[in-house]
């Protein structure tokens, strides 16, 4: 789920009607094939289905058989097929469903909404959560996915929030080093340039699926019109979660959403404490999946008063 980052540096586009993220039908086919092959080969027991939604067909991947449901929303340019390390870490204790975000490369609709994002994602999440089940869920999001999670309707359907490297609270920070790595990756993607760009998000963590991410990001740069990081959400939207248990995670070395910027925003807007993951960067779901799983356990405990 890297979050918002790769999209952070990217293509400036005017607001307006929905935009097809794929540069060609061939590119759409290549992205879909890569995702299907990863899920078939590395997560063969998962249940996969497509549900209708106000933002178009939405692909859901469900794994695990725990007593509670967790719905996971990946970050910019990420999806279930790129989230396998954290799915495996979570599936031992919860039933985790990953929803590929419409308008991001993956197996959901390829049209990116450009206006009324809060209302659009809120209606979309109403459909996704209804498809998952009846009881309260722990709603988790990384980077862009965290911002989308905060757009959901507060209420009994969402028993708790888990926000990792969250967009939606503060503006993403860009450094010259990030730009030097990201712009060449966009202009002429190669495996080496993808690896260099990804390194800006790793921190000190070990990334078991590094080779898959390098292949994926090269494919994305060739075939996808990447999106900008989302702007901070309106205060009224975030404040609606004051009474919902919330866990916020941020990597010690996150260059985009640093602990020093996220912590006061989470405290002021969400009344939530922030846990800093030692050595972590922006891609916590890849470098620190065990930390995400531990936060999930704490979040479930808060939901049920344990």
User: pLDDT tens digits, residue range 141-172?
Assistant: 999 999 999 999 999 999 999 999 999 999 99
Indicate which CATH number applies to the domain containing 20: 3.40.50.1820
> What is the model's pLDDT at position 13?
37
Residue 283 vs residues 43, 62, 186, 213, 303: alpha-carbon distances, Å: 20, 21, 19, 11, 25
Radius of gyration of the chain (CA): 17
95-113: average pLDDT: 96
Q: Is the pLDDT of residue 300 over 90?
A: no
Q: In terms of residue numbers, what domain contains 65?
A: 5-303
> What is the model's pLDDT at position 224?
95
Q: Specify the 3-state DSSP secondary structure of 134.
A: coil
The terminus-to-terminus CA distance of the chain in angstroms comes to 29
User: pLDDT tens digits, residue range 217-266?
Assistant: 999 999 999 887 889 999 999 999 989 999 999 999 999 999 999 999 99
> What is the model's pLDDT at position 83?
96
Residue 3's nearest CA partner among 170, 162, 147 is 147
Residue 100's nearest CA partner among 91, 87, 89, 109 is 109
Q: Is the pLDDT of residue 11 over 50?
A: no
Extract the runs of DSSP E, i.e. beta strands, from the chain.
19-20, 47-51, 58-63, 69-73, 95-99, 111-112, 137-142, 158-164, 246-251, 274-277
Residue 42's nearest CA partner among 296, 278, 212, 245 is 212
Angle formed at CA 1 by CA 303 and CA 300, multiple of 5 degrees? 10
Q: Is the pLDDT of residue 8 over 70?
A: no
Q: Is the pLDDT of residue 17 over 70?
A: no
**Residue-by-residue DSSP string for 94-106:** SEEEEEPPTTSSS
In the 8-state DSSP scheme, what is residue 82? G
36-57: average pLDDT: 96
103-111: average pLDDT: 96
When divided into structural domains, the chain yields a total of 1
- Count how many residues are written for the chain: 306
278-285: average pLDDT: 94
Give dist(CA 63, CA 128) in Å, integer: 16
> What is the model's pLDDT at position 305?
61
87-102: average pLDDT: 95
> What is the model's pLDDT at position 5?
40
């Amino acid at each position: 789920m890297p979050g918002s980052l790769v999209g952070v540096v990217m293509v400036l586009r005017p607001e307006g009607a929905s935009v097809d993220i794929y540069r060609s039908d061939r590119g759409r086919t290549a992205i879909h094939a890569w995702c299907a092959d990863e899920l078939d080969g590395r997560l063969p027991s998962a249940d996969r289905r497509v549900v209708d939604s106000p933002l178009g067909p939405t692909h859901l991947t469900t794994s695990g058989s725990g007593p509670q449901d967790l719905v996971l929303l990946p970050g910019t340019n990420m999806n279930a097929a790129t989230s396998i390390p954290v799915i495996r870490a979570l599936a031992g204790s919860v039933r985790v469903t990953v929803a590929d975000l419409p308008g991001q490369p993956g197996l959901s609709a390829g049209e990116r909404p450009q206006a009324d994002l809060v209302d659009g994602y809120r209606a979309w999440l109403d459909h996704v959560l209804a498809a998952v089940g009846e009881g309260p869920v722990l709603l988790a999001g990384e980077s862009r996915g965290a911002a989308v999670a905060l757009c959901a309707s507060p209420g009994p359907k969402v028993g708790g929030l888990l926000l990792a490297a969250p967009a939606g609270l503060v503006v993403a920070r860009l450094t010259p080093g990030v730009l030097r790595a990201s712009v060449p990756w966009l202009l002429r993607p190669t495996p080496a340039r993808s690896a260099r760009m990804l390194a800006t998000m790793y921190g000190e963590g070990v990334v078991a699926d590094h080779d898959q991410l390098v292949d994926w990001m090269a494919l994305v740069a060739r075939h996808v019109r990447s999106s900008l990081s989302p702007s901070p959400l309106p205060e009224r939207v975030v404040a609606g979660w004051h009474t919902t248990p919330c866990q916020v995670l941020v990597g010690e070395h996150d260059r985009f959403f640093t602990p020093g910027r996220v912590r006061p925003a989470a405290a002021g807007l969400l009344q939530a404490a922030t846990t800093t993951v030692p050595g972590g960067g922006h891609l916590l779901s890849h470098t620190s999946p065990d930390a995400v799983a531990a936060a999930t356990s704490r979040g479930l405990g808060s939901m049920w008063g344990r």
